[in-house]
Amino acid sequence: MSDPLWIRGGHVIDPANDRDEESDVFAMEGAIVDNLSEEDLSSAQVIDAAGKIVCPGFVDLHAHFREPGQSHKETIGTGSRAAAAGGYTTVVIMPDVTPPADNAGVIQYILDAVAKNGQINVLPTGCMTQERVGENLAPIGSLKQAGVVAITDSPSSPQNNEIMRRTLEYAGMFDLLILDQCRDSSLTEAAAMHEGPTSLRLGLQGSPRVAEDLLVSRATLLSSLTGSRVHLQSISSGSAVDIIRKAKSRGVKVSAEVTPHHLTLIDEAISTYDTRYKINPPLREESDRQALIEGLLDGTIDCVATDHEPHVDYEKDVEFDQAPFGVIGLETALPVCLETLVRRDAAELTDLIRFLSTNPAGILGLDKGTLSLGADADITIFDPDETWRVESDSLESLSANSPWLGEELQGRVTHAVVDGRIVYGSRD
């Protein structure tokens, strides 16, 4: 049980309660309370938040922690520390571990590792299909009983339409959310980047937008048919945004996310063949980037997720078309989004917190993403003006494959609180 917590003098932003004010925040026994007794105040953990933003802890619906099987890239422990440093108090991790999380035994291993080394709320997902190969359904009921919060084959998607339909039907029976990273593999074989003028100039095989659009369309149609919920991961295509917008207008039970790197970067960043920019789905064109921002602001896209995907240096230090896809993003998401969305006047700070916290918590139905009385005391505190340089030796992640490595960013998390416990930063 945690000590009482007193966060003093911060600027509190809580979108769920339309709260935007200078105020104190209190927690007791892991929950938000309206005040503390004099006795509890005298023994409380105290955080001086003057000049800082106090908000609900960030929730990431899409991250890869690599354990078991690839612990040289990331572990439950290092991933959760990286998350806390980025203000994330809850992270949903993908099942692409070794062996894949397609059975109760692997899920139990992950939960045991979380209990031992996880500093934040780390929520496992299970596979849609056995071994993530898209041929036979995984035991969805057993996975739900084992403790998964959603099912997915991320970073891939079953290519067989019948398998996808049956997955949605069974998931609906267990009220499990489907996380779908939409990509038609027949159109992306050997692709290293977005298909367009830049790929032609660089001589690299391209991945067309339609590879994403086709499976986004499939997901919305099958969701409408089955009535099951689908969350679309890492949307990168401007035309996919239009498909999602139309589906939502018809009442289809679909939600969507976008990553900080797709909101910020475009395919021209690859002009130097820097493998840190090799991402799946790929960075696309400026028109796509603008459409993603517009979709986020009008509610077509519901939230921001990092798709934190660690790789060690030697894996990325190869020719571009030989390098694995993926970037890390937990520790840089906040400043990148502050710059792209808030400082460039696209969104208000309260909107950004909604995208990072309130909305993703709502998609999973978690008692998170709010500072309401009685809610879980998961809290993030950050200084929007503090500048810092992204250096490999200062990151909590085991890997350093960040597009912003060596760059100076503005905005930094000072504290992360989980269940009323300070897991990042210090008490005063």
CA pair distance 356, 89, nearest whole angstrom = 11
Q: Is 307 one of the annotated active-site residues of the chain? A: yes
Among the listed residues 15, 38, 10, the one whose alpha carbon sits nearest the alpha carbon of residue 25: 10
Angle between the N-to-C axes of helices 76-85 and 104-117, in degrees from 0 to 180, rounded to the nearest 10 = 60
Determine contact, residues 274/201, Cβ cutoff 8 Å.
Answer: no
- Distances from the Cα of 108 to the Cα of 83, 103, 121, 172, 415, angstroms: 22, 9, 15, 23, 30
d(CA 421, CA 414): 14
The dihedrals phi and psi of 353, each to the nearest 5 degrees, come to -65, -35
Q: Which residue has the tokens 């009323």?
A: 420
Would you call the peptide bond into 95 cis, given omega within 30 degrees of 0 as the criterion? Answer: no
The answer to whether the beta carbons of residues 119 and 113 sit under 8 Å apart is: no
Catalytic residue, candidates 267, 302, 307, 378: 307
Q: Rounded to whole angstroms, how far apart are CA atoms 290 and 279?
A: 18
| Residues written for the chain | 428
**DSSP states of 261-278:** HHHH--GGGGGG--GGG-
Q: Which residue has the tokens 């990331």?
A: 74
CB 2 within 8 Å of CB 420:
yes
Tokens standing for 209?
A: 């937008």
Q: Can you tell me the distance from the alpha carbon of 300 to that of 244, in angstroms, rounded to the nearest whole number?
A: 7
* DSSP states of 193-214: EESSHHHHHHT--EE-HHHHHH
* CB-based burial, 183-216: b 16+ in 10 Å, e otherwise: bbeebbeebbbbbbebbeebebebbbbebbbbbb
Contact yes or no for 413/87 (Cβ under 8 A): yes
Residues with catalytic roles: 307
